[in-house]
Amino acid sequence: MKIKFVYFGLGVLFLAHFGESQNATFDITKYGATANADISEAVGKAFKEACASTSPSTIVIPKGTFQMNQVLLEGPCKGPIELQIQAILKAPTDPNAIKTGEWLTVNKLDFFTMSGGGTLDGQGKEAWECKKSKKCTKLPNNLSFNSLTNSIIKDITTLDSKAFHVNVNQCKNLTFTKFNVSAPADSPNTDGIHVARASSVNITESSFSTGDDCISIGDETEQLYITKVTCGPGHGISVGSLGGNPGEKPVVGVFVKNCTLVSTDNGVRIKTWPASHPGVVSDIHFEDIIVQNVSNPIVIDQVYCPSGKCNKDLPSQVKISKVSIQNIKGTSRTQNAISLTCSKGSPCEGVEVGDVDISYSGKEGPAKSSCENIKPTFKGKQTPAVCSAGADAPAPAAAAS
């Protein structure tokens, strides 16, 4: 078996090349799958045989439109597996049809690939209305990847998920490339990719249009690289929210570089709850970012409380340190282009801001910044002047979570 590594930017894109072994192919139509019918059983049968193969295997869902109910693909398997989705897959429209929180789940695989140019359509419109009316509490994610290693997700679109498009948990050396997320701006809780308890995850050359965070980052995330990503609409790229649960482990090493955010509610953001449990956020780098018509382009928010039911008199206990904000340029939709609100109980440390050039052309006047419990270091251009506006600066514009 030959293994090839391709390096780009700050991250490592992992590709496995198995040129010396014969690839076994498992076409789901050979297992009873037919167009416009539920193919979940056929996918399960094809995976079972592929998983038992000692040579690299490819499961093919050919071009066409198929209905698919809940599917779980779980290893470990005897050899590398590729799930090649060429088709449009449609989830049940009924918000209650899937009971356990995931539509397609992939667990405990090494050298797994998902590819093919296909689309996973979560058909979320009915579920979003149910969520907004508070008649639904738990809706399924389109995709869930748990305990994957040395794996790649490429050339896949996830459309109109009922909840998160992708949940990544306990994975190591996982890459998303040419991955596309699409949902309306008003679709609730439709985060593009949520990463937690994972290391060496790379998200590159991908686009996100959704109703919540394009990429959200939970606890115990280490060495996450986000490069050449376009986000909008959505709530931006967010570390957190953190501190809401006891025992959260540190977020260390997040690199967001060469990304573009267009008409999002936030740009790059770190958010923690007030009155929180202890936590650590360190070694976070936002660099070479373009913002276009973004409401809150640069945010540290340690009094994050979207429900309005938090005790803001008690400070966040999440310690933020070693943060760099470099070469962020573009336009703000609100006057307060930069908001750095750190915890009064545990002020931010080691924050560096350099070469920021964000303009605002509204009737209130030029762009401003606001700062609390932080003393950044500076280099290069500062437009607006960071942390010079003092206590009179406007608060961040209200945005959805």
User: Does residue 399 belong to any structural domain of this protein?
Assistant: no
User: Does residue 209 belong to any structural domain of this protein?
Assistant: yes
Take residue 316 and report the two structure tokens written for it.
């966040």
Q: State in Å, rounded, how far the first CA of the chain is from the last one.
A: 46
- State the pLDDT at residue 308: 84
Residue range of the domain that includes 275: 2-392
Take residue 57 and report the two structure tokens written for it.
């295997």
User: Does residue 397 belong to any structural domain of this protein?
Assistant: no
Catalytic residue among 17, 165, 194, 235: 235
235 tagged catalytic: yes
- State the pLDDT at residue 401: 59
- State the pLDDT at residue 21: 53
Containing 79, the helix (H) or strand (E) segment is: none
Helices (H) and strands (E) in the chain, counts: 2, 29
User: Does residue 400 belong to any structural domain of this protein?
Assistant: no
Residue 249's SS3 state is coil
- In 3D, which of 388, 365, 366, 362 has the Cα closest to residue 375? 388
Give the Cα separation of 366 and 65 in Å (integer).
Answer: 51
User: Does residue 212 belong to any structural domain of this protein?
Assistant: yes
Instruction: Give the CATH number for residue 224.
Output: 2.160.20.10
As for how many domains the chain has, the answer is 1
- State the pLDDT at residue 99: 81
pTM for the whole thing?
0.92
User: Does residue 398 belong to any structural domain of this protein?
Assistant: no
Tell me the β-bridge partners of 194: 167, 216
Give the Cα separation of 72 and 44 in Å (integer).
Answer: 8
CB 298, CB 334: distance < 8 Å:
no
Give the Cα separation of 69 and 272 in Å (integer).
Answer: 36
User: Does residue 136 belong to any structural domain of this protein?
Assistant: yes
Buried b (16+ CB within 10 A) or exposed e, 222-259: bbbbbbbbbbbbbbbbbbbbbbbeeebebbbbbbbbbb
User: Does residue 172 belong to any structural domain of this protein?
Assistant: yes
- State the pLDDT at residue 107: 98
The residue type of 305 is C
Tens of pLDDT along the chain (401 residues)? 444 444 444 444 444 444 445 789 999 999 999 988 999 999 999 999 999 999 999 999 999 999 999 999 999 999 999 999 999 999 999 999 998 789 999 999 999 999 999 999 999 999 999 999 888 888 999 999 999 999 999 999 999 999 999 999 999 999 999 999 999 999 999 999 999 999 999 999 999 999 999 999 999 999 999 999 999 999 999 999 999 999 999 999 999 999 999 999 999 999 999 999 999 999 999 999 999 999 999 999 999 999 888 998 999 999 999 999 999 999 999 999 999 999 999 999 999 999 999 999 999 999 999 999 999 999 898 999 998 733 333 444 444 55
Residue 129's SS3 state is helix
Tell me the β-bridge partners of 110: 149
